[in-house]
């Protein structure tokens, strides 16, 4: 089964900016479902319980299905929505953002608040590590020892990922191969070994990647 691929951030990040004496502290985190997003909001709101506002936005699920925001006392539409719009524009999902504001004594007006909350989230995202969850076939290949050198050269030259290797009567590799590269992978191995290789797809899984490389 092929899963829906998606873009998100690797972990948790924060940023702080000052606008007209108001301090805006942004915390963003990858949250795998809505329950994690709600929990993260509770944690940050508790941490900054003395703040004037803790405004929030999060997106969860396939195709950005779940979208929520909260202005937390700011004028309606001036905080949560611009935060959410930044997340949507960046095409991120499974992400939660909390912007904490400490009022500095000078009102920013509706347009100023919209810019401030949007800028806060945007700058925090720029500091974060962006990752993709992409579809990979978990593959087992079995081949005889004389082909080891050529197969290893092919794997190394194309940056394919070996999860595990067993040296038995024959050699067995467990590998993760992008579904987009699988046909190339299969065709080349058949050519290298003159079709003297057994290749089996065990399952298809979503894996974290950065710059098209699998990360643990």
Per the CB < 8 A criterion, the answer to whether 204 and 2 are in contact is yes
pLDDT band at 216 (very low <50, low <70, confident <90, very high): confident
> What pLDDT score was predicted for residue 1?
61
> What pLDDT score was predicted for residue 164?
97
Element (H, E) at 156: helix 148-157
> Is domain 133-214 given the CATH code 3.40.640.10 in the classification?
no
pLDDT digit string (tens) for 40-64? 999 999 999 999 999 999 999 988 9
Per the CB < 8 A criterion, the answer to whether 104 and 20 are in contact is yes
Q: Which CATH class is domain 6-128?
A: alpha beta
Sequence-distant (≥ 6) Cβ neighbours of residue 154 within 8 angstroms: 160, 188, 189, 192
The stretch 15-43 carries a mean pLDDT of 97
Residue 205: helix, strand or coil by DSSP? Answer: strand
Domain ranges in the chain? 6-128, 133-214
pLDDT digit string (tens) for 88-132? 999 999 999 999 999 998 999 999 999 999 999 999 999 999 999
- Reported as half-sphere exposure (CB side, CA atoms, 13 A), residue 176 has a value of 16
CA distance 55 to 97: 8
The model carries a pTM of 0.86
């Amino acid at each position: 089964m092929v899963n829906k691929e998606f873009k998100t951030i690797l972990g948790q990040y924060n940023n702080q900016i000052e606008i007209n004496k108001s301090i805006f502290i942004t915390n963003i985190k990858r949250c795998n479902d809505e329950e994690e997003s709600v929990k993260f909001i509770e944690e940050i709101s508790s941490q900054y319980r003395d703040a004037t506002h803790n405004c929030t936005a999060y997106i969860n699920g396939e195709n950005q299905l779940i979208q929520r925001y909260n202005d937390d006392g700011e004028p309606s539409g001036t905080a949560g929505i611009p935060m959410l719009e930044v997340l949507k524009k960046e095409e991120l999902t499974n992400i939660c953002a909390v912007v904490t504001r400490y009022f500095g004594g000078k009102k920013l007006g509706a347009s100023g608040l919209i810019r401030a909350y949007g800028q806060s989230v945007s700058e925090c995202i720029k500091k974060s590590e962006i990752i993709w969850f992409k579809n990979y076939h978990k593959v087992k290949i079995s081949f005889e020892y004389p082909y080891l050198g050529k197969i290893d050269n092919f794997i190394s030259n194309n940056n394919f990922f070996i999860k595990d290797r067993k040296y038995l009567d024959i050699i067995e590799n467990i590998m993760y191969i992008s579904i987009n590269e699988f046909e190339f992978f299969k065709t080349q191995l058949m050519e290298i070994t003159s079709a003297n290789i057994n290749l089996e797809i065990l399952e298809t899984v979503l894996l974290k990647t950065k710059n098209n490389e699998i990360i643990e």
